[in-house]
Amino acid sequence: MGNRRLTVREIARLAGVSVATVSRVSNGTGQVSEETRRRVLRAIEEHGYRPHHLGRALAARRHGAVGLVFPGLSGPYFSELIQGFESEAVKTRTSVHILCTHLRADSDAEVIEMAHRVDGLAVLGGTVSHDTISELAAMLPIVVLAGDGPAAVPAVRIDNTAAAALLTRHLLADHGLRRLEFVGDPSGSPDVTERWEGFRQAHRQLELPLPRAPIRVGLQQPDGVFAAEQVLRRAIPPQGVVCANDETALGVLVGATGRGVRVPEDLVITGFDDIPMAALVTPPLTTVRQPVRELAARTARLLLQVTAGEPGQPETGLVLPTGLVIRGSCGCPTSTDSPTTGRHRTTSTSRRSRAM
Amino acid sequence: MGNRRLTVREIARLAGVSVATVSRVSNGTGQVSEETRRRVLRAIEEHGYRPHHLGRALAARRHGAVGLVFPGLSGPYFSELIQGFESEAVKTRTSVHILCTHLRADSDAEVIEMAHRVDGLAVLGGTVSHDTISELAAMLPIVVLAGDGPAAVPAVRIDNTAAAALLTRHLLADHGLRRLEFVGDPSGSPDVTERWEGFRQAHRQLELPLPRAPIRVGLQQPDGVFAAEQVLRRAIPPQGVVCANDETALGVLVGATGRGVRVPEDLVITGFDDIPMAALVTPPLTTVRQPVRELAARTARLLLQVTAGEPGQPETGLVLPTGLVIRGSCGCPTSTDSPTTGRHRTTSTSRRSRAM
DNA sequence: TTGAAAGCGATACCAT
DNA sequence: ATGGTATCGCTTTCAA
């Protein structure tokens, strides 16, 4: 450890040239004679020289890094998100700093701290206050992912409200269900806020009584199990639950079937996201597909583009399409194949309707 | 965007002092008269000055960052891992760079690239070749997390082999099961390699015929579903499956019950990790608890400690304890409470035996 | 207690 | 085509 790194100066001396020339060679900028280039290259190879990132970054006044801020992560959703983001960044040799704000009180300060170490920032909707986002937007490029910030701050998102409304209308109108409940905490994230809104909107549009208050639980499988317990303990349990995401839906499914409740006969369950498991459970889950990885990748590209100083005003509101995925858990007939025959989503047994 | 940042020099001019003094004040180093300090502080506040990270880092020759390398992530295991690591780092104002090597051919080169941008590196066992780890160890502090590298490279791990053997012996000896299969790909990660080894070891120790080849699938829930299909298609299905982790076990459970197979009567299933869902399914999952978050936190602390230049040779092989968690999926009687009564692991209905 | 000046490692302008 | 040198923003001797 710690054998001091070589510097441009030493390589310059070793190759018998100036530091300027070494820099030109190692960056491929400017004009260098073939002969000199070869000499320099040899010195570089021979001593395993690598330009020091900090020196280079300071001179360029670029960190060569972007930040990704999210509230503690879990499950397939965040996995996809991080990977989608990271894989775009790596293409441009940009490194990715992460920050989990979850449960930390001073997280806004931490985000600002991070802003000083990166060239651009992506924040998950709901993780950072709008005020802080505005403050950040004044100092560096920033994109909101899955949610939105103050006006003029670019955001990449889906139309959760419309998607949730479409799904809910399917249950209400096509299946004639009346007593539905929403599982998820609308104050937890913009995604859930909007899905809850879509859920209510569908009721309004069909001129039905507004649903009761949401069952406020988190977004992971265990939360769904707890929700199931709550719901099934009622004197009159609902006919169906619209869950904020697939993981809670899966949890509800496990909790319900574990208590002998039949799905969808006794209880209809729907999710949101279309994670791979959604197609594999029994009955397979009716849900909304959203392009999570693509969402993250677009966010990264948008950010990297602005960061790289590319011309043109960046799009300010990118809305990616979603699709209703009808499977068996809503009461629709399951296709004749074994529900576990399909491999992941690509060949799943789902029928899709009405891309939005 | 882009209102040029203030520099020490400007603050110095504004406060009527030298840059050295500004630096002393903003770092709390050296002696500064109360009067001067106040003046400088006022200038700093007033103009919202923050020392530029790159300038500072270059002068200190420290990046103030550590790297975390893993193979694409997914599920509760990686979530815990990342959060455990990140939350330690944030305490020391160190930022965390992530790199997902998954499915990328030139990942070793990317890791080396990253090594030039951080003060220390944590790599998940199996993500980087031993040769590359050695190479890295020569240039910066590095710790292997969940696995091990070449000798002399510190590692933080659990004893997978012993834990898997203990679990397997429970099925073999206590339940008298004979036809067991292992679900997971031993070549996928050191964790799985060792668990597979423990599985075989238990057979050897009890002088039973060695088990058949493992069912090589990934570590996510859908993989477990596919494994269940494979296994149940056999002329003579096994009496039980020992899964590489809880997620695949949960997948197997879903796949099996979806096909009308009763667990544990027709098929015994065990997992590894003790994720929150393990206690909540029906029947609850017999598994091995491992302190994932703690593993990551210890790794981070070890790394940060070395990075900060703390004295003393770092421990080179830290092995954290695991514990067998007996629940219902192995055939043991489930405790009388509803399996879903417990809330997460802390108050779960599990009985524990023989901490290791 | 304070300031001047020499780095840290690399880039890029301006001469030659 | 190449070299000298100022510069990026900050820290840290060394003197005063």
Q: What is the pLDDT of residues A164-209, one digit of tens each?
A: 999 999 999 999 999 999 999 999 999 999 999 999 999 999 999 9
Q: Which CATH superfamily groups domain B65-158+293-320?
A: Response regulator (3.40.50.2300)
pLDDT at B265 over 50: yes
Residue type, A170: H
What's the CA–C1' distance between B105 and D11, in Å? Answer: 41
Half-sphere exposure in the Cβ direction for B34 (13 Å, CA):
0
pLDDT tens, position by position, A248-269: 999 999 999 999 999 999 999 9
pLDDT band at B132 (very low <50, low <70, confident <90, very high): very high
Q: Is the CB of A29 under 7 A from strand C?
A: yes
The pLDDT, as a whole number, for residue A159 is 98
Q: What is the pLDDT of residue B51?
A: 96
Return the nearest residue to C6, CA–C1': B59
pLDDT band at A104 (very low <50, low <70, confident <90, very high): confident
Q: Which of A7, A47, A54 to mutate to test the interface with B (most CBs of B within 10 A)?
A: A54
Q: In chain B, helix, strand, coil percent, each to 5?
A: 40, 15, 40
d(CA A105, CA A84): 28
Could you give the 3-state DSSP secondary structure of residue B124?
A: strand
Q: Residue B7, CA: closest nucleotide via C1'?
A: D9
Each residue's pLDDT tens digit, B101-126: 886 778 999 999 999 999 999 999 99
Is B32 in contact with B21 (CB distance < 8 Å)? yes
**Smallest CA–C1' separation from B34, nucleotide:** C1
pLDDT, tens digit, 9 for 90 and up, residues A61-77: 999 999 999 988 677 88
Exposure letters B247-260 (e unless 16+ CB within 10 A, then b): bbbbbbbbbbbbbe
pLDDT at A346 over 80: no
Q: pLDDT band at residue A225, thresholds of 50, 70 and 90?
A: very high
CB B72 within 8 A of CB A79: yes
Sheet with B180-183: list strands edge to edge.
B180-183, B240-243, B268-270
The whole-number Å distance from B176's CA to D5's C1' is: 82
Q: What is the pLDDT of residues B146-177, one digit of tens each?
A: 998 998 899 999 999 999 999 999 999 999 99
In angstroms, how far is C4 C1' from A117 CA? 30
Confidence at residue B77, expressed as pLDDT on a 0 to 100 scale = 87
Q: Which of A53, A73, A281 sits opposite B116 (nearest CB)?
A: A53
What integer pLDDT is reported at residue A325 of this predicted model?
Answer: 98
- Taking an 8 Å cut-off on Cβ atoms, the answer to whether A251 and B277 are in contact is yes
Taking the CA of residue A308 and the nearest CA in chain B, the distance in Å comes to 13
Residues A172 and A178: their CA atoms lie apart, in Å, by 6
pTM (two decimals) = 0.90
CA of A88 to C1' of C5 (A): 44
Q: What's the CA gap between B166 and B208, in Å, rounded?
A: 15
* pLDDT score of A342 more than 80: no
Q: How many CB atoms lie within 10 A of CB B100?
A: 24
Chain A interface mutation, best of B254, B306, B334, B346, highest count of A Cβ atoms under 10 Å: B254
Q: Please, what is the end-to-end C-alpha distance for chain A in angstroms?
A: 56
B141 contacts in chain A (CB < 8 Å): 1
* CATH 1.10.579.10 corresponds to the domain A8-60: no
Average pLDDT of span B13-23: 95
**Nucleotide nearest A5, from its CA to each C1':** C9
Does nucleic acid strand C have an atom less than 7 angstroms from the CB of B29?
Answer: no
B160-290+322-346 CATH, one of 3.40.50.720, 3.40.50.2300, 3.40.50.920, 2.40.50.140: 3.40.50.2300
Averaged confidence pLDDT in chain A: 90
Does the pLDDT at position A313 exceed 90?
Answer: no
* Confidence band for B228, pLDDT divided at 50, 70 and 90: very high
Which nt has its C1' nearest the CA of B5?
Answer: D9
Confidence of residue A4 (pLDDT cuts 50, 70, 90): low
pLDDT tier for residue A337 given thresholds of 50, 70 and 90: very low
Spatial separation of the C-alpha atoms in residues A272 and A249, rounded to whole Å: 8
Tell whether the model's pLDDT for residue B43 goes beyond 60: yes
Output the CA–CA distances (angstroms, integers) from residue B280 to A39, A242, A272, A352, B223, in the order listed.
67, 21, 21, 31, 20
Tell me the three state secondary structure of residue A279. Answer: helix
Residue A103: pLDDT band by 50, 70, 90 thresholds?
low
CA–C1' span, B55 to C9, in Å?
11
Average pLDDT over residues A231-246: 97
Mean pLDDT, rounded, of chain B: 90
Residues of CATH 1.10.260.40 domain(s) within chain B? 8-60
Whole-angstrom Cα distance, residue B129 to residue B7?
Answer: 43
Q: Burial level of A282, CB count in 10 A (0-12/13-18/19+)?
A: buried
Q: What six digits make up the tokens of A60?
A: 């360029």
**Nucleic chain C contacts, protein chain A, residues 234-293, CB cut-off 7 A:** none
What would the mean pLDDT of A89-117 be, rounded to a whole number?
A: 92
Q: pLDDT at residue A345 above 70?
A: no
Q: pLDDT (tens digit, 9 = 90+) per residue, B281-331?
A: 999 999 999 999 999 999 999 999 999 877 666 677 899 999 999 999 999
For residue range A171-181, what is the model confidence (pLDDT) as tens digits? 999 999 999 99
Q: Does B3 sit within 8 Å of A138, measured CB to CB?
A: yes
Q: What is the pLDDT of residue B183?
A: 98
Work out the pLDDT band at A352, boundaries 50, 70, 90: very low
Q: Given a cut of 70, is residue A80 above it in pLDDT?
A: yes
C-alpha pair distances (Å), B354 with each of A145, A335, B148: 46, 47, 26
Question: pLDDT tens digit string along B322-339?
Answer: 999 999 999 999 864 444
CA dist A306 and A313 (Å) reads 8
Selecting from A52, A63, A258 the residue whose C-beta is nearest the C-beta of B340 gives A258
Intervals of CATH 3.40.50.2300 along chain A: 65-158+293-320, 160-290+322-346
- CA of A18: nucleotide with nearest C1': D3
Q: Specify whether the CB–CB gap between A141 and A120 falls below 8 A.
A: yes
Chain A closest CA to B16's CA: distance in Å? 26
| Average pLDDT for B175-200 | 97
- Looking at the C1' of nucleotide D8, which residue has the nearest alpha carbon? A59
**Residue B178 has what pLDDT?**
96
Cβ distance B280 to A344 less than 8 Å, yes or no, reads no
Question: Could you count the other beta carbons within 10 Å of the beta carbon of residue A108?
Answer: 18
Kindly state the average pLDDT of the residues A243-252: 98
- In angstroms, the Cα distances linking A268 to A151, A182, A278, A327, B241 are 38, 12, 14, 11, 31
In this prediction, residue B337 carries a pLDDT of: 46
Please list every residue in chain B whose beta carbon sits closer than 8 Å to the beta carbon of residue A277.
221-222, 225, 251, 254
Q: Which of B76, B86, B141 is opposite residue A100, by nearest beta carbon?
A: B86
Residues 6+ positions from A97 with CB-CB distance below 8 Å: A65, A66, A67, A68, A114, A117, A118, B65, B95, B96, B97, B98
Nearest-CB residue to A340 (from B96, B116, B229): B229
Cis before A283 (ω within 30): yes
SS3 content of chain A, % helix, strand, coil (to 5): 40, 15, 40
What is the tens place of the pLDDT at every residue in A143-166? 999 998 998 899 999 999 999 999
Average pLDDT of the segment spanning A216-230: 97
Bridge-based pairing of strands A351-355 and A323-326 is antiparallel
A315 pLDDT tier (thresholds 50, 70, 90): confident
